[in-house]
Structure 1
Amino acid sequence: MSPDEKVAAAAKRLEQTANENGGPYQEPEAYRGSIARTMFDRSGAEDGTVTALVPEDRIGDIAREAYVRIPSIHPRTNKVEAEYLGVVASRPFAEPDALSATAPTLVVAAAHRAVLTPKYHGIAQIQVFGERVDGQIVPPVRRPCPNSPVFLLGDEEVKAVLGLNIPPDDKPVRLGLLDGASSIAVAVPAAQKSVLFKHLAILGTTGGGKSTTVSGTIMNLAEAGNAVVVFDIEGEYTTMNDPSSNPRMLAALKKRGLDPRGADKTKLFYLSGRTPASPDHPSQRDFKIAFDDLSPYVLAEVLDLSEPQERRLLDAYEVCRITMERTKIYPANDDEQREALEIDELLGGWPRMTVEMMLDVVGAAIEQIDGNADDFRGRRNGFAGHEKVLLQTLNARKIEKDSRSWKAIAKRLWRMKKAGVFADRDRERIDVGEMLVPGQISIVDLSDMDAPYLRNLVIAQMLRALQTRQDELYGAREDAIRFGQMPKDLTKVNIFIEEAHEFLSAQRIKQMPNLFDQVARIARRGRKRYLGLVFVTQLPSHLPDEVLGLVNNWILHKLTDSGVVNRLRKVVPGVNEATWNSLPNLAPGQALCSFTHLARPVMTTVDPSPCQLRMVD
């Protein structure tokens, strides 16, 4: 028998033996269609992740951020003990079979330009984030058994697992596409109380894509029927009513299958006497804020007074209040007398008080200290005609004879008066009811205000006014329900605070605790009243822990500051180590999105902005 005949006979005998024992090897039913197998844990293994081995021919089918299910099959009983859900935390890296990647044979062959490619496989790390129990996803308490199959999830399964199947009544608002799965849209429920109304932070370095994310989110929220208010520090969003003309943005929109378009319903608000960043905007409204809405304690913080000066200011405020009572400016009748008993000066000011009245009190105090009280004359909108009552009140108060402190207060109050931010007449006051219109984008243009303390004052007072108005509407709705009437729908409001680090930096909170207390109160009460805050900044390192503690939802663009990333690790749950390490290298438009309705944070490619942004290159 020739050698070839011997080989053929041996092959025949092997085939016969195989047929007698069930034929060629067949993968068990439970493993068919799998793309990988879980492996025994290696040294350095971490809780929450498992190692998976991928066959050579399937390496191209799996990528980082791919979602998988793992039926945990016991190696002795071959029974499925549990089903786990996971995401590929690190892409499959090639590793040769039965050899080290640094084996001398491979090194020598490559170094001398030989082609020697042994059989190889892929090795990936999978973060296990859930276990499916009776159709529900619960936190995993165990790990999949070794040699369990790994299956890729289909698009519909991924959407169901992540919580992206948002009912139409919850008004899904699209942010972009799931990274690694270009057909799956990442959306947020605009009308669900437990998500955006637990507040949102959009963070990232300059050039990371924050403005694109903010403008697109603003437009989509308004189209979902929410009222959107934007405190625009640089005037960047004042041209949102126009479609984008930026060539790069147009190309990105075309690639995504989207069309450029302007926001349908925008209204531009700017301080009287200032120049708006977009003077040709079709719907404009100038405004001033009311001095009598201002808490004396917030006023003291805004004026940046020393401790003695703050005491003098509070004395002046009390003298002003008593003089108003004695002259019947306020309260002027029994109804107002009862109303005055309910005023909380930690939250707001004294009705009808003006900055001119405070200037009169401080001016009269200085004249009295200098011995020139007989020459004192009150201002229009101040205490003109009531000088005698004012001086009597000052005498009874026995103010400190600290002329230097009183003059410092006068200087700061006069600076506020000259800034022209306070209304002299009711018709000049901002009516925040104009902003609480479903589907409207109200852009508060603060770009022509150089003084940060004045910008912060305007933001703080408008926030408080918005909260007060929303409280009134909420109370009216609750009353209607209590009396069996048909209640009006409560308008859902999202407030975007650009350059949040300037408004709520650690230093400002230390200097202005009462101002921060007002913001924190709005954040806490807003959750039940459909009033959601959005903090936007390129300098998240300046935001203190007190602000981060108010936030439950996150959109994180490129972040290069390791200190910031380490702080965020403590407050953003469910992010794996590989994703944290990728934040400094994110491309413009990429973002890590963590929302309370999602099963886990997801990497997202944010949609390009369809509208015109004033400061985008």
Structure 2
Amino acid sequence: MSDQTSLSPLGFVNFDDIRGQNNEIELRIPFDEIKRIQRGQYVLIGSAGVERPYLGRVISGPFYTPDAVSKDSAFARTSILLANEVPFLPDFHGVCRVELLGRVSLDDYHLSGFASRPFPKTPVLPMPSDQIAQLLGLEGNMYLGHLTGYEQIRVYFNAHVKKVLPRNVGVFGTVGSGKTNTAQVLIEEAIASGWAVVVLDVEGEYISMDKPNGEAKKKPLAAAMQRFGVSPRGIENVQVFNCPGTESRCPDAREFCLRFGNLSPYDLIEIMGMSEAQETRFLELHEEATAKLMTKQGATQHKHSKWDRLAGNNNPVGLNSLPNLTLQFLIDQIDIENQDSGYGNKASWNKVLQLLVKLKRYQIFDSVDYVFNADDLLKPGQLSIFDLSDATNVRVNNIIIAQILREIFEKKIDEPDAPPTIVVIEEAHTFVSRENVKAMENIVDMLREISRRGRKRWLGLCFISQQPAHLPNEIFELCNTKVIHQTTGKRNLDALQVSAGNVNEAVWGEVPLLGQGQALIISPQFAHPVLCDMRPCSTNREYTD
């Protein structure tokens, strides 16, 4: 801010309207200064030498109004309506609205709150760009892009503070808005910072991130990469997994399965949509099968209700406990139950049997040599991608996602020194939606538990969705950092705005108008929400229809 006194004012604070907002002022700009101002610009409000000037951001305008006559006067109207016939135009000036962001301490360049407002005629100066990043908290080691309107100012996340990635991230936007590019940028930067990254990829878009960006040879992207100072390159340590019986476009993909004995029966009940009667039968079956296996192993079974388990910090039933408990073993037990049951019970058992036999056909449990092991994922700089794009059943995908989340969480609890880890969930609205949230209490409780205890152990979640209106409020509450690309539709905008906190209405009004790759970022790291031009990703992306 050393050059504050050498800058001429852009304009001056106007008198207030009594209906104005406490955190907004009206700025009047002389005609000769209009070209120096634009929406989104940061400004200092205060005379040279003032110890604590205000920091502001232009949020609307510039609008143009005549100096000495009304815009509805005959003189003004004639100059517009008969523009081809009359040579004159009334003298005019610009008008902008400026959001007050705080008061600037010139001693250590930090923002503080304010309980007053600048006086009329207070000069408004352009904010020197060399101090904006520090004032807004844009510094860090994860390069995201440029502050919109300021190509010389880079926007970063800090991978080494717990208030960003470990407190979860949400990336939202309509199709083609740039959210997948943003997800790749986050993945690239997290990997470069030594994080382990796990991607649950329901579209198969991320499976070739070991290769450089294939679009980099085309002129538009090549120019953009040069402008942002990045180059095409792949990630070195990438592994791709796919489910048995499905195909992946990654030639090196490895088939994996889950161990049924590690599965929480409550997750399975919710995801499979069992009725109350089916739930009762299934839990009876699971308890009896567990008791038989534990008796064989010489262990003692401790029965707890669902709510006892959820209230405590015990492992979910079955997790890492019964490797011999298989889906086929449960199916065999149902046959035994059917032989011993009366007619009334057989119908309920048969319904459960149909669900389990159907589940077995998907081959996701105990079916191939490689059984999912969280140890293989939690390594610094390791990117692990689960390609779920060829699965034909959303419920199967959700079982896989839930179990991978559980086992990663348990591993982080057991081994606090494991590297920082973030799990990226694509199309999150297909996992937990507003429509099914009441039937997915156990899953939502798991996500809350991961959020509550995971951040202390450097475990974060990243939810990506193009349909935020379908996400339950619980997901928005978990995401302390939100990257919002262009979003349209009142329901989607309302869902995001309710969870976005204190974002100025005029700034929020920019969201439907954002260009491809632009985003509104709301984060505890930043002093205020910022608009960012996201950098192009360096890695390749598979484009899907």
* TM-score relative to the length of structure 1: 0.80
Query: Once the 2 structures are TM-superposed, how far is the Cα of residue 274 of structure 1 from its aligned partner?
Result: 2.4
In 1, Cα distance between the equivalents of 2:231 and 2:146?
A: 16
Please list, as runs of the form range in 1=range in 2, the aligned pairs for 1:148-159 lying within 5 A after superposition: 148-159=122-133
Please list, as runs of the form range in 1=range in 2, the aligned pairs for 1:522-561 lying within 5 A after superposition: 522-561=450-489
What code does the residue aligned with 2:90 have?
A: P
Tell me, which stretches of 5 or more residues in structure 1 are unaligned?
1-28, 74-78, 167-171, 333-340, 371-399, 478-489
Please list, as runs of the form range in 1=range in 2, the aligned pairs for 1:193-272 lying within 5 A after superposition: 193-246=162-215, 247=218, 248-272=220-244
Instruction: Give the structure 2 partner of residue 458 of structure 1.
Output: 400
Query: Once the 2 structures are TM-superposed, how far is the Cα of residue 254 of structure 1 from its aligned partner?
Result: 4.0
Does the aligned pair in 2 maintain the 1:296–1:349 contact within 8 Å? no
Of the three residues 143, 148, 152, the one matched with 2:117 is: 143
Instruction: Give the structure 2 partner of residue 97 of structure 1.
Output: 67
Does the aligned pair in 2 maintain the 1:175–1:187 contact within 8 Å? yes
In 2, Cα distance between the equivalents of 1:257 and 1:491?
A: 29
SS at match of 1:604: strand
Shift in alpha-carbon separation, 1:199–1:96, aligned structure 2, 3 A: same
Of the three residues 444, 447, 450, the one matched with 1:516 is: 444
Q: Does 1:354 align with 2:326?
A: yes
Shift in alpha-carbon separation, 1:349–1:515, aligned structure 2, 3 A: farther
Please list, as runs of the form range in 1=range in 2, the aligned pairs for 1:426-441 lying within 5 A after superposition: 428-441=370-383
In 2, Cα distance between the equivalents of 1:238 and 1:344?
A: 32
In 2, Cα distance between the equivalents of 1:447 and 1:585?
A: 31
Does the aligned pair in 2 maintain the 1:277–1:445 contact within 8 Å? no
TM-superposition CA deviations, 1:403-461 (whole Å, max 9, x none) = 11100101111111221111268x53211111111112111111121111110000000
In 1, Cα distance between the equivalents of 2:225 and 2:313?
A: 54
SS at match of 1:549: helix
Instruction: Give the structure 2 partner of residue 503 of structure 1.
Output: 431
Query: Once the 2 structures are TM-superposed, how far is the Cα of residue 499 of structure 1 from its aligned partner?
Result: 0.5
Of the three residues 396, 408, 421, the one matched with 2:351 is: 408
Shift in alpha-carbon separation, 1:347–1:58, aligned structure 2, 3 A: farther
Does the aligned pair in 1 maintain the 2:485–2:511 contact within 8 Å? yes
Query: Once the 2 structures are TM-superposed, how far is the Cα of residue 257 of structure 1 from its aligned partner?
Result: 4.2
Shift in alpha-carbon separation, 1:251–1:330, aligned structure 2, 3 A: farther
What code does the residue aligned with 2:234 have?
A: G
Instruction: Give the structure 1 partner of residue 12 of structure 2.
Output: 37
In 1, Cα distance between the equivalents of 2:436 and 2:491?
A: 20
Query: Once the 2 structures are TM-superposed, how far is the Cα of residue 286 of structure 1 from its aligned partner?
Result: 2.3
In 2, Cα distance between the equivalents of 1:44 and 1:130?
A: 21
Shift in alpha-carbon separation, 1:421–1:607, aligned structure 2, 3 A: same
Query: Once the 2 structures are TM-superposed, how far is the Cα of residue 344 of structure 1 from its aligned partner?
Result: 4.5
Please list, as runs of the form range in 1=range in 2, the aligned pairs for 1:279-294 lying within 5 A after superposition: 279=251, 281=252, 284-294=253-263
Shift in alpha-carbon separation, 1:251–1:455, aligned structure 2, 3 A: same
Tell me, which stretches of 5 or more residues in structure 2 are unaligned?
302-311
Instruction: Give the structure 2 partner of residue 66 of structure 1.
Output: 41
Instruction: Give the structure 2 partner of residue 591 of structure 1.
Output: 519
What code does the residue aligned with 2:24 have?
A: T
Does the aligned pair in 1 maintain the 2:267–2:402 contact within 8 Å? no
TM-superposition CA deviations, 1:62-114 (whole Å, max 9, x none) = 111111121279xxxxx948421111111322222122223210211332331
In 2, Cα distance between the equivalents of 1:245 and 1:576?
A: 39
In 2, Cα distance between the equivalents of 1:93 and 1:44?
A: 19
In 2, Cα distance between the equivalents of 1:149 and 1:413?
A: 73
What code does the residue aligned with 1:423 have?
A: D
Instruction: Give the structure 1 partner of residue 411 of structure 2.
Output: 469
Aligned length: 524
Please list, as runs of the form range in 1=range in 2, the aligned pairs for 1:442-457 lying within 5 A after superposition: 442-457=384-399
Please list, as runs of the form range in 1=range in 2, the aligned pairs for 1:1-40 lying within 5 A after superposition: 33-40=8-15
Shift in alpha-carbon separation, 1:456–1:428, aligned structure 2, 3 A: same
Query: Once the 2 structures are TM-superposed, how far is the Cα of residue 608 of structure 1 from its aligned partner?
Result: 1.6
Bigger radius of gyration = 1
Does the aligned pair in 1 maintain the 2:444–2:474 contact within 8 Å? no
Instruction: Give the structure 2 partner of residue 385 of structure 1.
Output: none
SS at match of 2:478: coil
Q: Does 1:118 align with 2:90?
A: yes
Instruction: Give the structure 2 partner of residue 18 of structure 1.
Output: none
Query: Once the 2 structures are TM-superposed, how far is the Cα of residue 31 of structure 1 from its aligned partner?
Result: 9.7
SS at match of 2:152: coil
Query: Once the 2 structures are TM-superposed, how far is the Cα of residue 196 of structure 1 from its aligned partner?
Result: 1.5
Of the three residues 528, 532, 538, the one matched with 1:600 is: 528
Instruction: Give the structure 2 partner of residue 563 of structure 1.
Output: 491
Query: Once the 2 structures are TM-superposed, how far is the Cα of residue 198 of structure 1 from its aligned partner?
Result: 0.8
Does the aligned pair in 1 maintain the 2:245–2:362 contact within 8 Å? no
Shift in alpha-carbon separation, 1:415–1:324, aligned structure 2, 3 A: same
In 1, Cα distance between the equivalents of 2:536 and 2:7?
A: 40
What code does the residue aligned with 2:500 have?
A: V
In 2, Cα distance between the equivalents of 1:294 and 1:616?
A: 32
TM-superposition CA deviations, 1:348-396 (whole Å, max 9, x none) = 47523211221121111112237xxxxxxxxxxxxxxxxxxxxxxxxxx
Does the aligned pair in 1 maintain the 2:261–2:318 contact within 8 Å? no
In 1, Cα distance between the equivalents of 2:90 and 2:119?
A: 29
What code does the residue aligned with 2:322 have?
A: P
Instruction: Give the structure 2 partner of residue 367 of structure 1.
Output: 339
Query: Once the 2 structures are TM-superposed, how far is the Cα of residue 271 of structure 1 from its aligned partner?
Result: 2.0
Instruction: Give the structure 1 partner of residue 153 of structure 2.
Output: 184
Does the aligned pair in 1 maintain the 2:432–2:440 contact within 8 Å? no
Q: What is the alpha-carbon root mean square deviation over aligned residues?
A: 2.4
Does the aligned pair in 1 maintain the 2:202–2:426 contact within 8 Å? yes
Q: Does 1:578 align with 2:501?
A: no
Query: Once the 2 structures are TM-superposed, how far is the Cα of residue 186 of structure 1 from its aligned partner?
Result: 1.0
In 2, Cα distance between the equivalents of 1:366 and 1:182?
A: 71
Does the aligned pair in 2 maintain the 1:324–1:331 contact within 8 Å? no
Does the aligned pair in 2 maintain the 1:277–1:447 contact within 8 Å? no
What code does the residue aligned with 2:160 have?
A: A
Shift in alpha-carbon separation, 1:342–1:80, aligned structure 2, 3 A: closer
Shift in alpha-carbon separation, 1:32–1:327, aligned structure 2, 3 A: closer
SS at match of 1:528: helix
SS at match of 2:495: helix
SS at match of 2:354: helix
In 1, Cα distance between the equivalents of 2:449 and 2:193?
A: 27
What code does the residue aligned with 2:354 have?
A: K
In 1, Cα distance between the equivalents of 2:134 and 2:56?
A: 13
Deviates more, 1:433-442 or 1:558-567: 558-567
Instruction: Give the structure 2 partner of residue 609 of structure 1.
Output: 537
In 2, Cα distance between the equivalents of 1:142 and 1:162?
A: 21
Does the aligned pair in 1 maintain the 2:209–2:234 contact within 8 Å? yes
Instruction: Give the structure 2 partner of residue 164 of structure 1.
Output: 138
Does the aligned pair in 1 maintain the 2:208–2:250 contact within 8 Å? yes
Query: Once the 2 structures are TM-superposed, how far is the Cα of residue 610 of structure 1 from its aligned partner?
Result: 2.4
What code does the residue aligned with 1:201 have?
A: G
In 1, Cα distance between the equivalents of 2:294 and 2:188?
A: 48
Q: Does 1:298 align with 2:255?
A: no
Deviates more, 1:545-554 or 1:41-50: 41-50
SS at match of 1:184: strand
Does the aligned pair in 1 maintain the 2:79–2:90 contact within 8 Å? no
Instruction: Give the structure 2 partner of residue 486 of structure 1.
Output: none
What code does the residue aligned with 1:83 have?
A: P
Does the aligned pair in 2 maintain the 1:238–1:445 contact within 8 Å? yes
